Structures are given as structure tokens and as C-alpha cells.
């Protein structure tokens, strides 16, 4: 049987190969992932993340699942919101990213209430109806089968639970798009080359942003997975967007 294909940036690859290719990218960028995020966004990604977490209305005692949790930025913000009285399970398919985050947050004194799990968002190793909140920040576009991952997020959420997806999106102001393209395709890979000696990984990351659905299309995908009252908020003119949805 011939393998189906999917996109890896602007390139079509066999579906069975995408997970490994994405893993190779993040194995390469993991040691300087946080530094590069600060450089590429001039620190604005931290404001986006804080604003996104503020939308969750987290309560002490909640149990949150942070997918593609990487180096722990969202997990840390959630624990602070829960005043160290909740639990966050950080799940990522990439061991290198988990290792960076676990060491970082342990060094900062955030050992309690954190669980680190290597798993695929398309096949979550959890029973149904067990999390109060599911989040994924800047990771959904790297998933091979996005509808399957959204279905899994819906499955593991408790009734009444909330989904929050923070992801790069489509510029809402057409006049800004040429400038944004220039920055993305010319400057960002060059920054990646200088800082990490890996231009190709950052070229892929830029391309993956362009291949991700626009806000309305992604909203429809979330609704198709079973979520209700789905809405989104553009950040920085649509450079990124917060999508929220609920499970009945």
C-alpha cells in the first residue's frame, strides 16, 4: 500500500515520516529554543502566553494538560494561576524539549505539581474525561493529523472543560503581510543560523506557519471535533491567535 503524503513546511513527505522530521527539528533547536523565541518575537511571545492563560479561569485544584508543552512556559504560568495548588501534566512528543523544560523548572523550584510525559497528541495515554483544561501553545501546526489530535483533546477533557490553542495565524491587516513575509522568510532563518547554526529548522518553522489554516478554518476544525462556543482572538494583528472551546 502506498503511503499517503502530508506537508512538512512547503515540502510534501510521506505521512509516516513527518513525526521523525518534526522530532529532528526540535532535537536540534531544543537547547536554545527559549532564547530563539525571545529573539524572534522580541519577547512578545511571553505577553501572548500570559494573556492566553488568563482566559482559562484556572482554579486551585484543577488538573491541566499542556500538549507540546516543550520547555514549560505555559505550565509555569498555569501553576502560578493555581497558586501552586493544581496539577499540570506536560506532554510532548519530543524528549529533548521535555528534558530542557524539566531541568529548567526543577532548577526554578517548580518540582511539585508537575508531571512530564513523552507522548503523541494524536494518541494520548489518558482515560476520557480526566482534565479540567487542555492547552497547546505553538505546537498544533506540527501535528501530523490535526483533526485526530483535536478529537483526543476533546476526549480527555471533562464535561465543562476548556480547550485553549495558542498558535501563529494569518495577518488580519493585508498591508502588513509583505513586511511580515520579509521578516519571516529572510530574517528569521538567518537569526536561526547565527544563534543555533541551523537555518533549515527555522526555515521549516516559518513554512509551517504559512501552511497552518487561517483563523476561521481552524475554528471550524475545532467545532468539528465536538467543541462548542468556539471563538478566537487575534493577537498582534493576527500574527498569533488564541482559540477557545468547551466540552459539554
**Residue 198 counted as an annotated binding residue:** no
Say if CB 144 and CB 189 are below 8 A apart.
Answer: no
83 touches 59 (CB < 8 A)? no
- Are the C-beta atoms of residues 227 and 134 closer than 8 Å to each other? no
Which runs of consecutive H residues, i.e. helices, occur in 15-118?
15-29, 33-41, 44-54, 73-81, 95-107
Q: Name the 3-class secondary structure at 107.
A: helix
224 belongs to an annotated ligand binding site: no
C-alpha dihedral (84, 85, 91, 96), degrees to nearest 10 = 20
Please check if 57 is assigned to a binding site: no
144 carries a ligand binding annotation: no
Q: In angstroms, how far is CA 167 from the centroid of its own chain? A: 6
- Measured CA to CA in angstroms, residue 171 lies from 9, 146, 168, 185, 238 at distances of 18, 21, 9, 15, 4
Cell of 189: 532563518
Known binding-site residues for S-adenosyl-L-methionine equal 71, 92, 120-121
Residue numbering of the annotated binding site: 71, 92, 120-121
Amino acid at each position: 500500500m502506498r503511503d499517503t503524503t502530508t506537508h512538512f513546511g512547503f515540502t510534501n513527505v510521506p505521512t509516516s515520516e513527518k513525526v521523525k522530521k518534526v522530532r529532528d527539528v526540535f532535537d536540534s533547536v531544543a537547547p536554545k529554543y527559549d532564547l530563539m523565541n525571545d529573539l524572534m518575537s522580541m519577547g512578545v511571545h511571553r505577553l501572548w502566553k500570559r494573556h492566553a492563560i488568563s482566559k482559562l479561569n484556572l482554579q486551585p485544584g484543577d488538573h491541566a494538560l499542556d500538549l507540546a508543552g516543550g520547555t514549560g512556559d505555559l505550565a509555569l504560568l498555569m501553576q502560578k494561576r493555581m497558586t501552586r495548588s493544581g496539577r499540570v501534566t506536560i506532554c510532548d512528543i519530543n524528549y529533548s524539549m521535555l528534558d530542557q523544560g524539566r531541568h529548567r523548572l526543577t532548577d526554578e523550584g517548580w518540582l511539585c505539581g508537575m508531571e512530564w510525559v513523552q507522548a503523541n497528541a494524536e494518541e494520548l495515554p489518558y482515560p476520557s474525561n480526566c482534565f479540567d483544561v487542555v492547552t497547546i501553545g505553538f505546537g498544533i501546526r506540527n501535528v501530523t493529523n490535526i483533526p485526530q489530535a483535536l478529537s483526543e483533546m476533546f476526549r480527555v477533557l471533562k464535561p465543562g472543560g476548556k480547550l485553549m490553542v495558542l498558535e501563529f495565524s494569518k495577518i488580519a491587516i493585508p498591508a502588513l503581510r509583505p513586511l511580515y513575509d520579509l521578516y519571516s522568510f529572510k530574517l528569521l532563518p538567518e537569526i536561526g543560523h547565527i544563534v543555533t547554526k541551523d537555518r533549515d529548522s527555522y526555515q521549516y518553522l516559518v513554512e509551517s506557519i504559512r501552511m497552518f489554516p487561517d483563523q476561521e478554518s481552524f475554528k471550524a476544525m475545532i467545532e468539528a471535533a465536538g467543541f462548542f462556543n468556539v471563538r478566537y482572538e487575534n493577537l498582534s494583528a493576527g500574527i498569533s491567535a488564541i482559540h477557545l472551546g468547551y466540552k459539554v
